[in-house]
Amino acid sequence: MHSGSGAFVEAAMVEAALNVTAELTVAYGAYGTLIVRDGNRSADAAPQGLYACRGFEQWLALSVSTDAHWDALRQLLGSPAWADDPALATLEGRRADHDRIDVALQAWAQDQDLDDAVEVLVAAGIPAGRATDPRLTGAHPQLAALGFFEEVDHPVAGSHPVSTLPFRYSTVDRWIRRPAPTLGEHSHEILRDLLDLDDSQIDDLERRRVTGTTL
């Protein structure tokens, strides 16, 4: 609303914070469960984590959320003695012994090719995938097919794929219409059109280095 008048806006900090902490509040208020930071682990899956495969920065993401997943993983690993422990047959048992499981899974993963490991795990019905390096997402075929990245030509940085909004409108062919401005690119326009300065006044500001296009 463009009325030209200011307005007083009052918002409670607690109410704003509750929007992003609802799960923690409900869990504690209703069940007395205190949710704490758990890294890559989960209260609903065990084992769950990232495991380094052969090569540089080759990370396997794995999440065993059911006892059936665990049984499939145990068989895929060749039913080693540690995995046949009856205490690990339940989620509670696996969560309690998560550290030991992680050590064993890491020992297995370090000799595996990442893509091969993902393929055999998924084929066995076990939720698994590649943890993609964010620097490589620009070349991800699925994101490219969805048009998530748009090529932007910047006068300083050059041409690069830039992430856009995660949705499309049938009436919008692309989201990014222009590159990010360079230093002071629009200063002259703003000073002239919005602040009503004439060219001599703007030149004076530039001479005194109040504004300009260089540091």
Looking at residue 186, its pLDDT comes to 93
Task: Report pLDDT digits (tens) over 120-145.
Answer: 999 999 999 999 888 878 778 888 88
Whole-number Å distance between alpha carbons of 121 and 28: 35
Cβ neighbours around 62 below 10 Å, total? 23
Domain locations along the chain: 48-131, 133-178, 182-209
Q: How far apart are CA 200 and CA 206, in angstroms?
A: 10
Fold for the domain defined by 48-131: formyl-coa transferase, domain 3 (3.30.1540)
Residue 181, classified by CB atoms within 10 Å of its CB into exposed (0-12), middle (13-18) or buried (19+), is exposed
pTM: 0.64
Least confident of 135-144, 182-191, 195-204: 135-144
6-38: per-residue pLDDT in tens? Answer: 888 888 888 777 777 888 888 888 988 888 888
